[in-house]
Amino acid sequence: MLVRLTSMLVANFVATLLTNPFDVVLSKISTQQPLHPASNSLKYSGFINCMRTVYAEEGWRKLWLGGLHPRFMFNLFNGFLFLFVYD
């Protein structure tokens, strides 16, 4: 059981770290507001544009590490549910 828990923790951390930039970009795209109330122009025009803009304005730390802790905890909880309830 200890090997399974350790494997789950390591896999969870690696998966969360690798997919976190995609979650940051998708969150920014889905919550963006128009730049000016009178117009419908948006700050991000697509996925790649949003990734470049976040990297240019906020740096790689925000892109890779922004919101990492809550996502890790959420995925950890799901992993524990899978191991102890479904399995």
Rounded Cα gap, residues 50 and 21, in angstroms: 11
| Per-residue pLDDT tens over the stretch 24-81 | 999 999 998 888 877 778 888 899 999 999 999 999 988 888 888 888 888 888 888 8
Cβ proximity of 80 and 1 under 8 Å: no
Rounded Cα gap, residues 2 and 55, in angstroms: 39
pLDDT grade for 87, boundaries at 50, 70 and 90: low
The model's pTM: 0.75
Give the C-alpha distances (Å, rounded to integers) separating 13 from 51, 56, 74: 22, 26, 11
Cβ proximity of 67 and 23 under 8 Å: yes
Hey, CA dihedral for 14, 15, 19, 20, is it positive or negative?
negative
- What's the confidence (pLDDT) of residue 72? 87
Domain locations in the chain? 2-25+42-86
pLDDT grade for 84, boundaries at 50, 70 and 90: confident
